[in-house]
Structure 1
Amino acid sequence: MLDRFLLQGPQDARFTILLAHGAGAPMDSASMTSTGNALAAVGFRVIRFEFAYMAARRTGGSKPPPRAETLNPEYEAAIAELGTSGPLIIGGKSMGGRVASMVADNLYRQQKIAGLLCLGYPFHPPDQPEKLRTAHLKELATPALICQGTRDEFGTRDQVPGYDLSSRIEILWLEDGDHDLKPRKTISGFSSADHLATMAKAVKAWAERLVV
């Protein structure tokens, strides 16, 4: 797990998805692994990577997450190091998706990526809905899919429709999902596996529309 990248899915997949982790959990967390498995199961080549502050924790460090925008160069460096051929979708879980969203347009204009995938986008900090992290999303040019739980404390279904977001952004709402897209089965009738399967199928259908 100390390798630069974690790879899943077929080598000859039409699309590669590069995913970064969230602020508090590594690239091999249970949530990231389950997400990668679900996407690989529908035919994506899924590659996960870790920011330096998180990698440092593996050797006993305890570095806190830096400001998201300071990680932009690391995300761009990961793309350059990866050097994939064929359509590339970038994104990530929570903060990882936010960082990807900040570098996406420059890469999209250079035709280096085909789209942006955010899993549980952190529209605002929990209990601080006034502190929106959406300014750059108003004019986003990159085709984007945000997969969001309806009760995600970083942006619920009641809150997000009121935000000024680019028409390039599509949102998949997962009923009763939390920030990890996990529902309460006794309330929603859905399991985590159900939501991940729905997410993966939706991502596949969306990706197929990106490249004709």
Structure 2
Amino acid sequence: MAETVETEAGAARITWHRAEKARLVLAVSHGAGGGVEARDLQALARTLPGQGVTVALVEQPWRVAGRKMAPAPKTLDAGWRGIWPALAGPGLPVVSGGRSAGARVACRTAAGLGAHAVLALSFPLHPPGRPEKSRAEELLGAGVPTLVVQGGNDPFGRPAEFPEGSYELIEVPYGDHGFAVPKRAEITQEEALGVLTGGVAQWAASLG
């Protein structure tokens, strides 16, 4: 079920994948280079409702409007804040999540919105080849329980590059920034997504 929500950044869209007996809502948004059709977001939407987690796939206003370039971070944050009342409406704890740029938005806004936790998929720790341009402060400043799921070959930050902190981190072996694995890898694409969805499900089940 799709729902349009007006925000100060424009109209956003939420596609609900509801659990029959939900205990929490996982709201996840896309990155700057794609939409909610991303393989990791779709895998979560297929898998988690069967485990008591309602998944809300959120399209930021710039994507709904058909624009190809993501706006400035403050505009992304405004769009996310604007959809929050709709996410929290069912009265369940809401995990704030996203992939890439969406993960940064979730980290920046979590504490202010009262998010139950943060799921950061493919957190862009730094631009490719520019480790000195670290965005670790955003991740470390989330202020709520946080899970990072990162591809082993992500050019925006491999798991070993992440600083110590109070968050948890799951590595998807061989995965790139979109969790794609090469055909020569020792695991299949389906198995890689299973690492992601299984890890997120286990973490979600552990949240108080």
TM-score when normalising by structure 2 = 0.85
Structure 2 distance, partners of 1:39, 1:178, is: 22
CA separation of 1:132 and 1:143: change in aligned 2, threshold 3 A: same
CA separation of 1:30 and 1:175: change in aligned 2, threshold 3 A: closer
Q: Which amino acid aligns with 1:180?
A: G
Unaligned 5+ segments in structure 2 are: 5-12
User: In the alignment, which residue of structure 2 is the partner of 1:67?
Assistant: 72
User: In the alignment, which residue of structure 1 is the partner of 2:14?
Assistant: 5
User: In the alignment, which residue of structure 2 is the partner of 1:53?
Assistant: 62
Does the 8 Å CA contact 1:8/1:36 hold for their aligned counterparts?
yes
CA separation of 1:166 and 1:30: change in aligned 2, threshold 3 A: closer
Greater mean alpha carbon deviation, residues 18-27 or residues 28-37: 28-37
CA shift digits 1:180-205 (9 cap, x unpaired): 12222422x21222122222222222
Matched, 1:208 2:208: no
Q: How many residues align?
A: 198
1:33-52 maps to which residues of 2 (within 5 A)?
A: 33-52=42-61
Q: CA deviation at 1:176?
A: 0.7
Structure 2 distance, partners of 1:184, 1:42, is: 29
Q: CA deviation at 1:63?
A: 4.5
Matched, 1:87 2:93: yes
Q: CA deviation at 1:56?
A: 1.1
User: In the alignment, which residue of structure 2 is the partner of 1:172?
Assistant: 170
Q: CA deviation at 1:11?
A: 3.9
CA shift digits 1:95-118 (9 cap, x unpaired): 11110110011223xxxx211001
CA separation of 1:48 and 1:90: change in aligned 2, threshold 3 A: same
CA separation of 1:114 and 1:2: change in aligned 2, threshold 3 A: closer
Structure 2 distance, partners of 1:44, 1:199, is: 15
Structure 2 distance, partners of 1:80, 1:114, is: 14
User: In the alignment, which residue of structure 1 is the partner of 2:131?
Assistant: 129
Unaligned 5+ segments in structure 1 are: none
Does the 8 Å CA contact 2:126/2:134 hold for their aligned counterparts?
yes
